[in-house]
């Protein structure tokens, strides 16, 4: 259920409460629940007769108003990233125009700001892409159980949620919808800006932080350097990638009163599993760096054998493909379906991620099948290499990738970001750690130093971008001596 019925409720019950707060350089831009309802309702009349609205706007009041109007009464919205290159945006818009005629909303014309039926499509999302046209998938209203997840994450109307990433990304968009559903205040930024995010924590009474691990790392480092404490933060949600143990420890020290939810999922699957670390809980064992928690409520997880796809693997450490049975999965791809990125077998779905369920039923994530590096005939999960080298003194972040190599097919390399400008990262130290911790086929054949992380516009680490930096001689990466 998206948030429109709840928006109407809060506009009546708490009309002057701030719904959305945009932290701009010129000062805050805010809109109350009553004004959000009224502006979105007024915008309904300007929508085209076609039931699909294409929204491509930076984070802001207009973006939220446009979204609310676009999904009213059974309509749907495609949320594009305004940071895409013009050619990529044009290609996506052309494909959206060429979609088969969509079902008409069950209530036309849409003059009331309210949610449509649970089985109706309300959102078209996109997998991250840099140069090629991203895959598009659709979601029904029923696949977003906002009130259920808000109760699980303990989000209430008293919470001030900061999601600094783009609203075109599922993590931030879901956080917005969840906050509006419970009547809370949602804080966003016109674009990803770490300094502005830290200032928002300091000045806006942020109680909840939702971001990908790379952005959380940047925020806590900047906050500590600026003397901004996180004592008022009571909830942190990390998703989109594994959270490094060192960053987890930093977050716990900076926000000692926060419950940390780390979830594993995918844009096509939504929440799959989650681990919860409350104030006072013991930190996870470093040896369990691949653990991503237990199945999310209502979700069932199974591991299937690669060699025998019909066989579910018993609990243990035998790896296979992660399959889920869940009411939260998307409806599938609208275009770009190659039969491997998202597969459905009856009620079971997968995006090709590899992992295992240990003897306690905890899911371990080893990496996406597409991320696996095949070098000299061996299969290497880059996440395992990164986890092994993350504990080397002076290392802040490790990124593994594969470079084209005539002899090996692909040559495994790593790039490291130091935890300070003064930190020395000798190649010999990293090689010694790799020799001690990794089997021979999993040891990198090249070592590089980063001056900044290779991030997508949504703030996720990009191995593809790192590969391009190395191959193009980008000055943000250099060979370690």
Options 3.40.50.1820, 2.70.98.10, 3.20.20.140, 3.30.300.30; CATH for 372-479 is 3.30.300.30
Structure tokens at 344: 């459905």
Q: Supply the pLDDT for residue 131.
A: 47
Predicted TM-score of the model (pTM): 0.83
Q: What b/e sequence results for 96-108 when a residue is b if at least 16 CB atoms lie within 10 Å of its CB, and e otherwise?
A: beeeeeeeebeee
Domain ranges of the chain: 4-257, 288-370, 372-479
For residue 107, pLDDT over 60 is answered with no
Rounded to whole angstroms, what are the CA distances from 177 to 155, 174, 464? 12, 5, 31
Q: Burial, 342: exposed, middle or buried (Cβ in 10 Å; 0-12, 13-18, 19+)?
A: buried
Q: Burial, 392: exposed, middle or buried (Cβ in 10 Å; 0-12, 13-18, 19+)?
A: middle
- Cα dihedral sign, 171-174-176-179: negative
In the chain, the percentage of residues whose pLDDT exceeds 70 is: 93
Give tens-digit pLDDT for 158-169: 999 999 999 999
Residue 249 DSSP SS3: helix
Give tens-digit pLDDT for 3-18: 999 999 999 999 999 9
Q: Does domain 288-370 have CATH number 3.30.420.40?
A: no
Give tens-digit pLDDT for 222-242: 999 999 999 999 999 999 888
140 vs 137: CA distance, rounded Å: 10
Give tens-digit pLDDT for 368-424: 776 777 775 567 878 888 888 888 888 888 999 988 876 667 889 999 988 877 778
Mean pLDDT over 280-293 rounds to 79
Report residue 341's pLDDT band, with 50, 70 and 90 as the boundaries.
confident
Q: Supply the pLDDT for residue 406.
A: 67
The CATH number given to 4-257 is 3.40.50.12780
Choose between 419 and 255: higher pLDDT: 255
User: How many helices and strands, by DSSP H and E, does the chain display?
Assistant: 12, 26
Which positions ≥6 away from 204 have C-beta within 8 Å?
A: 21, 23, 28, 160, 162, 187
Alpha helices per DSSP H over 395-439: 427-437
Report residue 132's pLDDT band, with 50, 70 and 90 as the boundaries.
low
Choose between 225 and 340: higher pLDDT: 225
Q: Supply the pLDDT for residue 145.
A: 95
Question: Judging by DSSP bridges, how do beta strands 409-418 and 395-405 pair with one another?
Answer: antiparallel
298 vs 310: CA distance, rounded Å: 23
Closest CA to 352 of 344, 362, 340: 340
Helix (H) or strand (E) holding 192: none
How many CA atoms, within 13 angstroms, populate the side-chain half-sphere of residue 335? 13
For residue 130, pLDDT over 50 is answered with no
Measured from the Cβ of residue 288, the count of other Cβ atoms closer than 10 Å reads: 14
Q: Residue 443 pairs with which residues in a beta bridge? A: none
Report residue 469's pLDDT band, with 50, 70 and 90 as the boundaries.
very high
432 vs 63: CA distance, rounded Å: 51
């Amino acid at each position: 259920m998206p948030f429109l019925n709840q928006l109407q409720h809060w506009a009546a019950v708490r009309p002057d409460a701030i719904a959305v707060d945009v932290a701009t350089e010129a000062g805050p831009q805010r809109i109350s629940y009553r004004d959000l309802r009224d502006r979105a309702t007024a915008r309904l009349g300007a929508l085209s007769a076609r039931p699909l609205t294409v929204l491509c706007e930076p984070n802001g009041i207009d973006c939220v108003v446009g979204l609310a109007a676009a999904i009213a009464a059974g309509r749907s919205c495609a949320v594009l990233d305004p940071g895409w290159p013009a050619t990529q945006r044009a290609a996506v818009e052309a494909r959206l125009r060429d979609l088969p005629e969509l079902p008409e909303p069950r209530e036309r014309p849409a003059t009331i700001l309210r949610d449509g039926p649970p089985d109706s499509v309300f959102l078209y999302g996109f997998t991250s892409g840099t140069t090629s046209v991203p895959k598009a998938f659709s979601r029904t209203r029923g696949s977003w159980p906002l009130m259920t997840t808000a109760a699980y994450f303990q989000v209430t109307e008293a919470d001030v949620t900061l999601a600094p990433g783009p609203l075109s990304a599922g993590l931030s968009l879901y956080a917005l919808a969840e906050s509006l559903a419970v009547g809370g205040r949602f804080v966003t930024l016109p674009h990803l800006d770490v300094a502005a995010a830290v200032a928002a924590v300091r000045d806006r009474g942020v109680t909840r932080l939702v971001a990908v691990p790379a952005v959380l790392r940047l925020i806590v480092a900047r906050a500590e350097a600026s003397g901004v404490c996180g004592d008022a933060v009571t909830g942190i949600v990390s998703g989109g990638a594994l959270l490094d143990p060192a960053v987890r420890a930093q977050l716990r020290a900076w926000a000692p009163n926060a419950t940390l939810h780390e979830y594993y999922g995918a844009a096509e699957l939504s929440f799959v599993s989650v681990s919860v670390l409350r104030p006072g809980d013991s930190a996870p064992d470093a040896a369990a760096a691949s653990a991503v928690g237990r199945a999310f409520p209502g979700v069932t997880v199974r591991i299937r054998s690669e060699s025998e796809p019909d066989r579910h693997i018993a609990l243990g450490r035998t790896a296979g493909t992660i399959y889920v049975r869940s009411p939260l999965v998307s409806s599938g791809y609208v275009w770009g379906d190659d039969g491997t990125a998202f597969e459905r077998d009856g009620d079971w779905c997968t995006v090709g991620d590899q992992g295992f369920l240990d003897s306690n039923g905890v899911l371990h994530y080893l990496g996406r099948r597409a991320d696996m590096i095949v070098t000299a005939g061996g299969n290497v999960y880059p996440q395992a290499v990164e986890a092994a080298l993350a504990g080397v003194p002076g290392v802040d972040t490790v990124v593994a990738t594969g470079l084209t190599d005539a002899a090996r097919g692909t040559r495994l390399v790593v790039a490291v970001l130091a935890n300070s400008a003064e930190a020395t990262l000798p190649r010999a130290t990293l090689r010694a750690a790799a020799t001690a911790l990794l089997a021979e086929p999993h040891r990198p054949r090249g070592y590089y130093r980063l001056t900044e992380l290779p991030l997508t516009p949504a703030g996720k680490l990009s191995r593809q971008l790192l590969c391009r930096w190395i191959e193009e001689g980008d000055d943000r990466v250099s060979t370690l001596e």
